[in-house]
Amino acid sequence: MVMTATDLPSTEAAAAKPRRSPVGNAYAYLQALPMALIFGVFFLIPIALVVVVSFFDYQSFDILIPDFVTFNYTDVFSSEVTYRTYLQTLTFCLIVWAITLVLGFTIAHFLAFYITSLPLQIVCFLICTIPFWTSNVIRMVSWIPFLGRNGLVNQGLMGAGITDEPIEWLLYSEFAVILGYVHLYTLFMIVPIFNSMIRIDKSLIEAAKDQGATSWQILKNVVIPLSKPGIAIGSVFVLAIVMGDFITVTVLGGGQIASVAKTIQTELSYLQFPPAAANAVVLLGVSILMIFALLRIVDIRKEL
């Protein structure tokens, strides 16, 4: 490495561009190699394979016939079921996103601004992560005895005389699926938003107060704008997970509710790999578009 001592004022531009030698460059590539390998082997190649398979032909007893056909895609786009399923999944996305955003923002705000002692902050944070100490599936399954026909909620309601007969829509319904999602994924909202908020200089809040801002005005003009990167990252997590979920839909939807990923899973269980691959590619495309749109609104790179 060449060390240069200049008399230039240390402007950002000057500081950001150290001189590079060719040897230094080679080292840099070498250092990036392990990550590049992992990324290639476990991400790029599988995706390339899925794309390739999505153009394959298939028959009942010959599940992969190398070919270049497009009917897997035309099937996806010509089927009315596809659009209904996407509508359903996107609706889930929107509702779950809205609920986790409000919940996550509120909880993060409380943790970051109202709990001033660090130990207590850590304790509260651990409490938030408790659900993650057990597996995803167990957490979902545990809703069943709680929400079921003869579950705790219904028995409680009937015992209290609020209803005469069990409420049917508590379990195996859209409500149950949304509840499951919110339960599982709110933390993915809390953590990045909290992370953004904790980095807001407390003197900014004081400065806003000094300038006559009310609590709501501080929230709207200072806290929310400065939490945007966290909101964006949390949103990416929640949207990507809900878009790709089929377990929650299966366990808590009771087979009544469709989702794009569940369609893919069903096709896979019938060994229809090429249409499943085509569906997966379309799902990937839609998810990427959504995330792209989101990142157009908030430039995460700049904020990080």
Partner 1 sequence: MVATAQTLELVHLTKSYGDTLAVNAIDLKVPAGTYCCLLGPSGCGKTSTLRMIAGHEAVTAGDIILGTDNITDIPPAQRRTAMMFQNYALFPHLSCIDNVAFSLKMRGIAKAERHARAGKLLDLVQMAEYAKRRPNQLSGGQQQRVALARALVTEPSMLLLDEPLSALDPFLRVRMRAELKRLQTDLGISFIHVTHSQEEAMALADLVVVMNDGKIEQAGTARDVFGRPRTPFVARFIGGHNVVSGRVDAVREGILMSKVAGGHAAVSIAGAKPSAGETIAIAVRSDQIALRPASANDGAANDNEVTGTVASVQYQGAFVEVRVDAGEGEPLLVTVPDGVFDAAPFKEGDRAVLTWSVDHGHLLSGAA
Binding site residues, partner 1, CB under 8 A: 201, 203-204, 206-214, 217, 221-222, 225-226
Q: How far is the CB of 235 from partner 1 (least distance, A)?
A: 18
Q: How far is the CB of 15 from partner 1 (least distance, A)?
A: 13
Cβ proximity to partner 1, 11 vs 60, nearer residue? 11
In the complex, least distance from residue 221 CB atom to partner 1, rounded to whole angstroms: 7
Sign, Cα dihedral of 242, 248, 254, 259: positive
Residue recorded with tokens 């004022």: 9
The Cβ-side half-sphere exposure at 178, using a 13 Å CA radius, reads 18
Residue in this structure with the two tokens 């794009």, named with its chain if needed:
260
The DSSP letter of residue 43 is I
**Any bridge partners for residue 65, and if so which?**
57
Cβ-contact 178, 92 below 8 angstroms: yes
Q: How far is the CB of 106 from partner 1 (least distance, A)?
A: 21
CB closer to partner 1, 81 vs 207:
207
What token pair was written down for 208? 């806003």
Cβ closer to partner 1: 134 or 214? 214
Q: Which is nearer to partner 1, 208 or 283 (CB)?
A: 208
Compare residues 51 and 226 and give the one whose CB is closer to partner 1. Answer: 226
As measured in angstroms, the least distance from the Cβ of 226 to partner 1 is: 6
222 or 261, CB closer to partner 1? 222
Cβ atoms of residues 99 and 178 within 8 Å: yes
The one-letter amino acid at 165: E
Q: How far is the CB of 208 from partner 1 (least distance, A)?
A: 7
Closest CB 12 distance from partner 1, rounded Å: 9
Q: Please report which helix (H) or strand (E) contains residue 196, including its range.
A: helix 174-198
| Maximum Cα–Cα distance across the chain | 84
| Residue 167 or 294 with smaller CB distance to partner 1 | 294
Asked if 276 contacts 74 with a C-beta cutoff of 8 angstroms, the reply is: no
The least distance separating partner 1 from the CB of residue 119, rounded to whole angstroms, comes to: 17
Question: What are φ and ψ of residue 17, in 5° steps?
Answer: -120, 80
Query: For residues 6 and 203, which CB has a smaller minimum distance to partner 1 in the complex?
Result: 203
| Residues 6+ positions from 231 with CB-CB distance below 8 Å | 101, 105, 192, 193, 196, 224, 298
Q: Are 53 and 267 in contact (CB under 8 A)?
A: no
| CA distances to 141, 165, 260 from 157, in Å | 21, 9, 35
